[in-house]
Structure 1
Amino acid sequence: MLIDRRPSRLSRWRAAYHRLPLPASIKKLLAAIYRRVLLGAVRAIRNAMNAGQTFISPSPVPQPQQAGLADYIIWGAIDWDLRHQRPQQLAQALGATGRRVIYVSSSLIDARHAGFELAPLDEQGRLFQVSLFAHGAPRIYAGAPNAAQVHQLLRSIGEVLLWSGSTRVISLVQHPFWCDIAGELPDSRLIYDCMDHHQGFDDNAPDILQLERRLVRDADLRLFTSDWLARQWPAQPHEPSAIVRNAADFAHFSSPPASVYRDRLQRRVIGYYGAIAGWFDAELVASIAEAFAQHVVLLIGADTAGVQARLRGCPNVEFMGEVPYGALPYYAHGFDVCIVPFRVTPLTLATNPVKVYEYLSAGKPVVSVDLPEMQQFGALVQVARDTPGFIAAITQALAPSTAEHLAQRQAFAAQQTWTHRADALITLAEHRDHAARVSVIVVTYNNLALTRACLESLERHREGIALQIIVVDNASSDATADFLAQWAADSGHRVILNPDNRGFAAANNQGLAVATGDYLVLLNNDTQVTSGWASTLQRHLQRNPELGLIGPVTNNIGNQAKVDVTYTSLAQMPQAARRFTCRHLGERVRQPTLAFFCVMMRRSTYTQIGPLDEVYGRGFFEDDDYCRRVEHAGLACACARDVFIHHQLSASFGQINQSERQALFEKNKAIYEAKWGPWVPHQHE
C-alpha cells in the first residue's frame, strides 16, 4: 500500500508562492532574489559551521537489506515533495516489494565536506530521501557538475552506502546531472529512466544534454516512458532498452471519496490538473471556455507560464493552484470531462501523461490533443487534431457515460498501475542474462588453506556475475591437487593439474588459453576478493577505452596499490575494505606497472597483446614485462581505488629460500632490462 505524506513546509511555501496573483516576471524576480541573496546567506553560515567537520551518519538506520533483494537508489529529477508523480510512485511501489529505496533529492546541501541529510519517507524503514552535500549546491538543471563537485558527490553517496550497508544496488537515474556519480557505485547496474525529452526544456543547459548522451551510451539498461522517446536514441549494441510507461495508483483514484468537488454555480466541469507550464495551450483553453460558456473550465496546478493572466478575459475559467496529491480524487471525480490541452511540440510528443491513467481510473471521459502516446488508449480517449475537433470531442464526452463505458475505462486502468510498472522494472533490472562473462585464472602451488579461502571468496562474491573460474596447479606437493579435483567436480569449474611446476607465466597462459570470458582476470591464490570487485573493475574498463589493464588496491604489495586499511583479522577485513572503497568511489590512478596479484583486461586487449612471456620461468618481472607491452600498444595501466582485495603477498615465493629467490630475481631482471632498458623499481606513493 502506498503511503501519502503531508507536504513539507518548503513545499507548502512553494504552493503558496505559486498561488500569488503576481505577473510571471515579478515571480521570476522574487525567485532570483531568493536564490542569490537568501540562499547565499544560508550557505555562508552553514559553511562556516561545517568547516573542518567530520561527517557522522544520521539516524534512523534503515531496515536491513533482505537477502536476494537489490537496493534501489533513485537519482531524482525533482524533490520528493514537489509533485507526486512517476519518481515517487515508482519509489513507493518498489518499497512495497520489500526492497529498500533511497531517493536522492534534486536539491543539494551546500557544504565543504562529504555527507548527506536524511528524511524517512515511510514507517517501515525502507524508503528514505537523502540530500547530498556539494559545495555551492548547484542546481541540477543549470549545468553539469565540475570535477570537484563530482568528487565530493561521490564521497557523499559513499557515506550513504556506508550508512545503509547496501551490498547490491540498482542505480536508477532520472536526470542526466547524476551521470558521473550514479555510474560509479560498487556492484551496481546503471539504469537510465528517460522520462522526458530534455532538449525540450528551456532550463536544461547544453552540457546537461551532453551528459544525457553519455548516460544513454553507458547505461546497462535504458527505460523510456514512450515509443517516441525511444526512437530519439539509437539502439546500443549488447545493451537492452525497454518501454516502461507511466501508470496510476488505481486504488487511490478509482473510488469516489466521501466528498466530491461540485461547482458553486452547479455548472458542469471541464477539468484539468497538472503543471500549467510552457507546453500548456492557453489559446485552446480560451476557445473551449468560449464554446462552453455555460460550463466551468477548472484548472488545477501551479501556473509557471502566466496562463492565468492570458485567460483573464474568460470568466468561466477558474484556477485552483497546486493542490496536494491526496486531494486529487476529490476534484477528478467532480470533473464531467477531463482534458489534456497541450501544445504539440517535441516535448509533448515524447510525453506519456500520468494524468490520463488517473482520469481513466476515476472512470472519466478524456479528450486530448493528438499525441503519439494516446494511441495505446484506443477508443477510451478521444483525440482531436485541431481546436474544432477538440470542442466537438468535448461535446460528445459531456453526454452521460454508460455504466459499460465507465467499466471499460476502469478495467484498462486497473491493469496499468505502478505495481505493474515496478514489477516490470524489477524483471528488467535484476536479471543479468546478458551480463558479460568474466574468466578468473588462479595459479596454485601448495598453500591449500590460502587457495581454499581464495576460491570461497570468489564464490561468495559472485553477485550476479557470469563467472568462470579456472585453476591451474603447478604440481603442488600438499593436498591441493586432490582438493581441486573434488572442487571442480562439485562446482563445475575448470582445473588444470600440471605434472611439474611450469612457472607463473606459463600456468597463467594455460588458463588464458581456455578462458571464454569477455573480461579476463589473473588472480593470485593468496588473495581474498570483496563485494563488487569484478563488476567495478569491469566498469572501469568499459568506461575508459584507453585502459589496457586495471588492478585493485590492497593491504600488502610493493607499489602504489598498497593503501592504509586497518584490520586485525580477516573477519574484520570486509567492513574495513568497504569503508575505504565507499570513500573512494570512481577513483582511478594511473600506474606504470601493476603487480599481477590481481589484474583485469578486456579480451580484446589480450588478443592484441598476447600471452605472458614465459622466458621469466618460475616468476619475477613477467608483470612488469606485460605492462610495458600494454604501454607499447598505446594503452594505459591503472589502479582502481574503489576495489580492495586482501593479499597475503609472496605465499608461493615464500617457499623458496632467500638465496634462490635473489638469484631468480637478478636473472629475470637482466632479461627484462635487455628488452626494455633499466628497470624502475616499484615504489609506494
Structure 2
Amino acid sequence: MMRDMQRRKKILMVSCQHWLSPIQVGDHLLARQFLAAGWQVGFISDPVTPFHLVKGFELKPRLKNYLSGGVRGNGGDLWGYVPGGLVMPYNVSFLKNRWVHSFWQNLTFPNLIRQVRKNGFAEVDVLYFRTSKQAFWLDKIKSNVSVFRVADNDSGFFDYNDEVRRREQALVQRADLTVYTSKPLEDYVTRLNPRDTLYLPNGVEFDFFSAPTNKPSEYKEFSGPIAVHVGSVLPERFDFELVDLLTVKFPEVQFVFVGPDEALRRRLHQRPNLHLLGPRPYELISGYMQHADVGLILLDIEKNPVLVNSTNPLKLYQYLASGLPVVSMAWDVLTDLAPPTCLAKNRDEFARYLGHVLSERCFDPAELMAYAKKFDWQSQFNHLCSRIEMISEKKRVNEDASGF
C-alpha cells in the first residue's frame, strides 16, 4: 500500500532484443530485477521493418507485438514494445549512412516517441541503453540518470561500422554512467572517453536455474549422454567446425541445441546424434540444462578474437547454477574468472575434455552451484542501483548549490 502511495520509479530500457525474445540477454534479466524492486519498466527493442520480411528472424512475434501496441506484464508495471518503421540502421547499402542513423525514428508508424510518451515514459528516473541506435532518447524524454551498458566489444560484429563507432562514442560521452561486463572491455570503454564507468559482470537468476525441474519430453527419446548448448548462435563467433568434429568423434553422445537454429541448419552437417530443437520459452530452459550431462560453450576465438576475448557468457553461469559441468574453449575472460570448468586451448583438447567429463563424472554439482551463486543478478542489480543513486544524489547536490 505504501509503495502505491509513493511516486513509482521508472526506467526506459533500450535493447536490441524484444521483450519476449527466446534470447533473453542481460537487458531482460536486469529489467526483471527492476520490476521485482517495484519499478515501472518500459522495454524498447530494435524496430521491425519491411527488410525483416526478407530476413525473417522472429518476424511473427515482433509483428504481433508491434500491431498490438506492445505487451503488458507484471501487473501493468512492464511495457515491452517493438517499433515499426520503414528503415533502421544496418551495415548494408544506404542503411549504414548517417541520415538513416540520425532520422530512422521519424519514419516509425505510429511515431515511436509519441508512443513512449503515451505509455507513461515521457519522464523517467533512469534511461538505459544497450545500443547507440536509439541514442536520440537523451534529447526526447527527461531522465535523471542515463546508463549505457557495453556487453560486448561491438566492433567485432558485422553490423559495426564508422558511423556506429561515432554514435557509440557520442553516447558514452553523454551518458552519466557506462557499464561494462568484462575486464577486457575496460580498455575499449576507456578509449571512448566515458564520464563514469562501472564494471558489472553478467549474472544468473540463481534460484530459477537451481530449482529442480522436470525432464524435457525430447530428452526421454534419447539414449546415451546429452551434451547441450542453450542460447544464441552468432556466426561472427560460433565454432561450427568444432560441432562437426564432436558429432563425428562422439557418435554415442546426443548433441542438443536449444535456441534459434537458422545458422546451424545452414552450416552444420546433419547427423543422427545432432538435434536442433529450436527456441524454447525462457521459463523452460533450466530443464534442458539440469537433465543434460554437460554444457557446451562453443566460441571460435581464432575466427574473431576481438569479440570473443571480451565475452562474458551468460550461459556459463546458467549451466553452473543448474549443476551442469561445462566444457568451453579458453579465452581471457574465462581464464581470469577461473570457474570450475574445463577450458580448452584448441579443438582437440576440447574433445579430450568432453570425453573426460562424460566418462569420469568428475565435477560436484554442489561446487558448481556454489560458484554460480556468487554471480546472482540480485547482487549485480544492487551494485548498479547503488551507483545510480550516487550519481543522482550528486546531481541533486549540484542543483542545490547552483540555486536551481
User: TM-score range with shorter-chain normalisation?
Assistant: 0.7 to 0.9
Contact 2:89–2:133 under 8 Å retained in 1: no
Say which SS state the counterpart of residue 383 (structure 1) adopts: strand
Contact 2:173–2:193 under 8 Å retained in 1: no
Distance across 2 between alignment mates of 1:359 and 1:422: 20
1:89-108 equivalences under 5 Å are 89-107=29-47
Say which SS state the counterpart of residue 158 (structure 2) adopts: coil
1:326-475 equivalences under 5 Å are 326-344=283-301, 345=304, 346-401=306-361, 405-432=364-391, 435=394, 464-468=396-400
Cα-to-partner distance string for 1:495-539 (whole Å, 9 max, x where unaligned)? xxxxxxxxxxxxxxxxxxxxxx6xxx7xxxxxxxxxxxx6xxxxx
Contact 2:169–2:193 under 8 Å retained in 1: no
Q: 1:122 aligns with which of 73, 88, 97?
A: 73
User: In the TM superposition, what is the alpha-carbon distance from 1:386 to its structure 2 partner?
Assistant: 0.5
Partner residue of 2:224?
A: 267
User: In the TM superposition, what is the alpha-carbon distance from 1:293 to its structure 2 partner?
Assistant: 2.0
Q: 1:193 aligns with which of 129, 149, 173?
A: 149
Contact 1:65–1:100 under 8 Å retained in 2: no
**Paired residue type of 1:332:** M
Give 1 or 2 for the bigger CA radius of gyration.
Answer: 1
User: In the TM superposition, what is the alpha-carbon distance from 1:220 to its structure 2 partner?
Assistant: 0.9
User: In the TM superposition, what is the alpha-carbon distance from 1:304 to its structure 2 partner?
Assistant: 3.6
User: In the TM superposition, what is the alpha-carbon distance from 1:418 to its structure 2 partner?
Assistant: 2.2
1:180-579 equivalences under 5 Å are 180-234=136-190, 239-260=195-216, 262=219, 264-278=221-235, 279-305=237-263, 307-312=264-269, 314-344=271-301, 345=304, 346-401=306-361, 405-432=364-391, 435=394, 464-468=396-400
Change (3 A) 1:338 1:266: same
Cα-to-partner distance string for 1:45-70 (whole Å, 9 max, x where unaligned)? xxxxxxxxxxxxxxxxxx96943x63
Distance across 2 between alignment mates of 1:423 and 1:116: 36
Across the aligned residues of Structure 1 and Structure 2, the Cα RMSD in angstroms comes to 3.1
Change (3 A) 1:425 1:140: farther
The answer to whether the aligner puts 1:138 opposite 2:98 as a matched pair is no
Change (3 A) 1:398 1:85: same
Distance across 1 between alignment mates of 2:193 and 2:154: 23
Distance across 2 between alignment mates of 1:165 and 1:280: 38
Distance across 2 between alignment mates of 1:283 and 1:168: 47
Distance across 2 between alignment mates of 1:222 and 1:119: 28
Distance across 2 between alignment mates of 1:407 and 1:121: 37
Normalized against structure 2, the TM-score is what? Answer: 0.82
Distance across 1 between alignment mates of 2:226 and 2:30: 31
Change (3 A) 1:381 1:315: same
Distance across 1 between alignment mates of 2:174 and 2:222: 56
Cα-to-partner distance string for 1:63-117 (whole Å, 9 max, x where unaligned)? 96943x631110111112222222211111111001111111212589xxxx997
**Paired residue type of 1:138:** M
Change (3 A) 1:147 1:291: closer
Distance across 2 between alignment mates of 1:174 and 1:368: 26
**Paired residue type of 2:211:** S
Distance across 1 between alignment mates of 2:127 and 2:90: 17
User: In the TM superposition, what is the alpha-carbon distance from 1:224 to its structure 2 partner?
Assistant: 0.8
Change (3 A) 1:405 1:205: same
Change (3 A) 1:150 1:390: same
User: In the TM superposition, what is the alpha-carbon distance from 1:183 to its structure 2 partner?
Assistant: 5.0
Contact 1:95–1:127 under 8 Å retained in 2: yes
Cα-to-partner distance string for 1:375-423 (whole Å, 9 max, x where unaligned)? 3542411110111211121122224546x82111111222322222222
**Paired residue type of 2:75:** Q
Partner residue of 1:76?
A: 15
Say which SS state the counterpart of residue 287 (structure 2) adopts: helix
Distance across 2 between alignment mates of 1:178 and 1:465: 29
Contact 1:191–1:220 under 8 Å retained in 2: yes
Change (3 A) 1:415 1:77: same
* Structure 1: stretches of 5+ with no match in the other structure: 1-62, 437-463, 470-516, 522-533, 535-685
Partner residue of 2:53?
A: none
User: In the TM superposition, what is the alpha-carbon distance from 1:131 to its structure 2 partner?
Assistant: 4.0
**Paired residue type of 2:265:** Q
Say which SS state the counterpart of residue 124 (structure 1) adopts: helix
Greater relative CO (CA pairs within 8 A, separation 6+):
2
Contact 1:118–1:128 under 8 Å retained in 2: no
Normalized against structure 1, the TM-score is what? Answer: 0.50
Change (3 A) 1:255 1:116: closer
* Structure 2: stretches of 5+ with no match in the other structure: 51-65
**Paired residue type of 1:74:** M
Say which SS state the counterpart of residue 283 (structure 1) adopts: helix
